[in-house]
Chains A and B, each alone.
Chain A
Amino acid sequence: MFESKAGIILIAGLFMFALAFVVMGLLPWLIYLDKPEQTMEDLVAGGVTAEFVDLAERFPAQFKEHFPDGVTRGSYASALERGRDIYVAEGCWHCHSQQVRPVSNEDLRFGPVSHAREYHNVLQRPVLFGTRRVGPDLIREAARRSNDWHVAHFFDPVLVSPTSVMPTYPWLYDDEDYPNRDGMSLIAYVQWLGSWLPEYPYFQGEGPMGPTERSGDEVALARESEGS
């Protein structure tokens, strides 16, 4: 059996592949099956982020041109979808991960550790975990930086961060260097990442209830526990 051609095709080719597929692929799918995937409507049901409104406030003429409906759930949904498409097309996900691991002090650097439920939505299909961090993780990026920072940064990252190795994206801007529809969408998408958490927008505990300063003690404490 094991030495016949049919045996190789069936056992090695099909059966063992199927076994691995069931164990490593279908099983996680089954585990999360009872958790419904959030649709685009679910994602914008609560409203829009303050950062999206801020875009409309900063660039009223351009915003009106790119999102004729103004600040609506529909505009926000289209911006998120378009922003995600650009994030994929430009290969952002090759250099920026979207997961905070519970190790290596990543929670101190980025914010709360990622949970599976955060990824059950249409904008994480396929999931954008990422495998390399040339730049920092982005899953806790919402409201961490302001829209004008992002406008300058996407135009040419070296402008705001002289050591940045991120490419420039001038095609996300119109002739007068205002972000175009794609640029605004990408900013809206990046400003959305992590905004579903209760910690948002104070991922580092810097909010009204958190400590005012990130004391050196906390960092030292983390280093001690990590060292063991």
Chain B
Amino acid sequence: MTAFQSIMNIVRRRSIHVCYVDAGSCNGCGIEVLACLAPRYDIGQYGIVIHNNPREADILLVAGAFTPGWDDKLRILWDKIPAPKAAIAIGNCPQSGSVFNRRGSYIDPPVSKHIPVYANVSGCPPRPTEIIAAILAQIPKIFPDFKAEP
């Protein structure tokens, strides 16, 4: 690894872009992710920006129990994110399907079958502080040995 690359890896830890995708949740996790932006929790102080653009994201937040509408689309969206990248599953639905995982439902959990998931945040829904803690815990793991391809 070149010196330039290692400096870049250190600097990029302070500027994390997060893309949020709802793959069939009840919206409860979505509003808790939105609440992270509030001045009380202030996710911006850690250099984290939440938006919905996969092309410039580093971390993908997935909520929901994977509905059939996302069958091919979530994989395409994951491939659009440039390396280095990580996916974090928010809530119980991406892990197990939660209350929706019953006979007759259309869902196909867990999300880790479809894209590689680095971390899970349990809760129905998890609190904003837990979501911020999960993102912050992943940041040092994404960048340490990343080597850009020429």
Partners in one complex: no
Q: Interface residues, chain B, CB within 8 Å of chain A?
A: none
Chain A residues near B (Cβ < 8 Å): none
